[in-house]
Amino acid sequence: MRLSRFYLPLLKETPSEAQIASHRLMLRAGMIRQQGAGIYAWLPLGFLVLKKIEQIVREEQDRAGAVEMLMPTIQPADLWRESGRYDAYGKEMLRITDRSDREMLFGPTNEEMITEIFRAGVRSYKDLPKMLYHIQWKFRDEIRPRFGVMRGREFLMKDTYSFDIDEAEARRSYNKMFVAYLRTFARMGLKSIPMRADTGPIGGDLSHEFIVLAETGESAVFCDERLIDMEVPDKETDFDGDLQPVFDQFTSLYAATDEMHNNEDFEKRVPSENRMSARGIEIGHIFYFGTKYSLPMKASVAGADGKDSPVHMGSYGVGVSRLLGAIIEAFHDDDGCKWPMSVAPFHVGVINLKSGDDACDKACATLYDALREAGVDVLYDDTGGRAGEKFARMDLIGLPYQVVVGPRGLKSGNVEIKRRSDGEREEVSVDSAVHFIAERVSDALKVE
RNA sequence: CGGGGCGUAGCGCAGCCUGGUAGCGCAUCUGGUUUGGGACCAGAGGGUCGCAAGUUCGAAUCUUGCCGCCCCGACCA
């Protein structure tokens, strides 16, 4: 992409409403634009990242055996009357009426709808287990939206729903998502920690929040710091096999959010040198809720004995749009974003320091074409303007690598390559630059 | 929803207390000098001061109502 064609409205000054780094940087880097409280338009740069995050989520869901579909944003109220949640949900749910005065709502989640869809098509235990997911915009009329996309009212969420014949089988589905989540967040460079979450009236131990540690996190968390470097299962993991050992391993050490924290327990189970109290951002939440919806909504299947019984369900959410905020919180400095390669809007930025200069233009054009040929996403800064402005802009948007092409280096046939993550620079010849970048990009994108 | 604050040019703000017909920085446009980390000089364009009503000879400024947004708290992916 040529910068001169792109739409990248940057802000030099910090908008007054942005309190935390991710919100500030998303506004300054021209990724989002606010349209109302907790409602954002995704500008080209932000949208590129959003799509990359979405794709990683999708790939790991598919790997775990879930099947993608798409449910509507608008749902009929009657569906929610079946589960009893139409009245229970409260003002968080945006209720609307259509031209015939039919009661509708903008979906805050999809348990009811997926249950209706499932019950319409499945009769026998032989059709189980099933895991279905979609990635769709949700609306929750939060009392107080804040922190940009971290707590918006409209947000993009991946939600998966599992259907099993009994609790033991449901646990297997739960474990699949548990592992899928560990992998999903790791691929984005995040160290996520599963923490016991409140299961509410249903009870049991089957609800976990996936937390990424960040100073600006919304909740206080307490954990054994050895969890941070626990090894995430690789892509050869057999999702049809027994995943219980992985679950056991990750849940063997203490980890709890504020609500679930028990200090006595914490001190008993965690050696003092490993105790960690920090703040965290919730980026995923998985939940087993048994027959909560299948019973009232009559989603049953015939068992081997010919008798009908309600299916056991679970739901598994990932805050896709929220992840942008979480990733920036984890990877940024005073100058801007520092995207991990896997979610970067472009892998590399080519900076033409002297647009209009024959040698510079030529070298840049060669690099631009060759990099794209090599499968690298390139943003080519072909604009006029001063060097300082170009450097600052590229640092702000935070592409993993910058290739600086200027008359000074070209005299000796060289360009400068800067790595955004640590600022390390290296002079390489124009000829070897493509290989240099392409190799590092493909290494960084390798899925393990 | 309780408490606090803010709406003045694209962005950041001053002016409001003490009414007199709107200003600064950045950005934008033109010309020139510059050119490897957000340049400089000269000039120009751009605002029904959130909306509505009221007080007044006169309202960005005072009064009332409404709308929007932000911050703290309780709630949430």
**Residue-wise pLDDT tens for chain A (448 aa)?**
999 999 999 988 887 778 888 999 999 999 999 888 899 999 999 999 999 999 999 999 999 999 999 999 999 999 999 998 888 888 889 998 888 989 999 999 999 999 999 999 999 999 999 999 999 999 999 888 888 999 999 999 999 999 999 999 999 999 999 999 999 999 999 999 999 887 766 666 689 999 999 888 888 899 999 999 999 999 999 999 999 999 999 999 999 988 888 889 999 999 999 999 988 999 999 999 999 999 999 999 999 999 999 999 999 999 999 999 999 999 999 899 999 999 999 999 999 999 999 999 999 999 999 999 999 999 999 998 899 999 999 999 999 999 999 999 999 999 999 999 999 999 999 999 999 999 999 999 999 9
Supply the ipTM of this predicted assembly: 0.91
* 3-state DSSP assignment of residue A419: strand
For chain B, which bases have at least one atom within 7 A of a protein Cβ? 1-2, 11-13, 25-27, 34-39, 68-77
| Rounded distance between C-alpha atoms, residue A365 and residue A350, angstroms | 10
Alpha helices in A315-429, H assignment, sequence order? 320-330, 358-373, 387-397, 407-410
Domain ranges for chain A: 21-71+110-333, 346-445
CA–CA separation, A220 and A218 (whole Å): 7
Contacts of A127 by beta carbon, 8 Å cutoff, 6+ apart: A301
pLDDT confidence of residue A205: 66
Residue A104 CA and nucleotide B67 C1' are separated, in Å, by 26
Torsions phi, psi for A243 (to 5 deg):
-100, 0
**A381 and A351 in contact (C-beta within 8 Å)?**
yes
Residue of A115, A72, A117, A109 lying closest to A89 (CA atoms): A109
Residue A62 CB-half CA count within 13 A? 9
A148 closest-nt by C1' vs CA: B70
- Check if residue A147 sits with its Cβ under 7 angstroms from strand B: yes
DSSP assignment of A46-76 equals HHHHHHHHHHHHHHHHHHHT-EE----SEEE
The predicted pLDDT at position A146 comes to 87
DSSP code of residue A134: E
**Residue A178 confidence (pLDDT):** 97
Chain A, 282-341: which CBs lie within 7 Å of strand B?
282-285, 317-319, 321-322, 335
- Please, are residues A349 and A381 in contact by the beta-carbon 8 Å criterion? yes
Helices H, strands E: what count in chain A? 13, 23
Cβ of A413 near strand B (distance < 7 A) = no
What pLDDT is recorded for position A204? 63
**Which amino acid is it at A7?**
Y
Calpha distance A431→A55 (Å, rounded) = 33
Closest alpha carbon to C1' of B38, residue: A389
Closest residue by Cα to residue A106 from A121, A95, A117: A95
Q: Rounded distance, CA A78 to CA A419, Å?
A: 55
> In angstroms, what CA-CA distances link A209 with A172, A193, A380, A417?
18, 8, 40, 40
Give residue A17's pLDDT. 78
A412 touches strand B (CB under 7 A): no
| Contact of A331 with A189, CB cutoff 8 Å | yes
Fold classification of A346-445 (topology level)? Rossmann fold (3.40.50)
Please give residues of chain A from 79 to 118 whose alpha-adjacent beta carbon (CB) lies under 7 Å from any atom of strand B: 92
Query: Which listed CATH number (3.40.50.300, 3.40.50.720, 3.40.1160.10, 3.30.930.10) goes with A21-71+110-333?
Result: 3.30.930.10
Task: Give me the A residues in range 207-246 that sit within 7 A (CB) of strand B.
Answer: 209, 218-219
Strand B contact with A38 (CB < 7 A): yes
pLDDT at A36: 87
CB A312 within 8 A of CB A164: yes
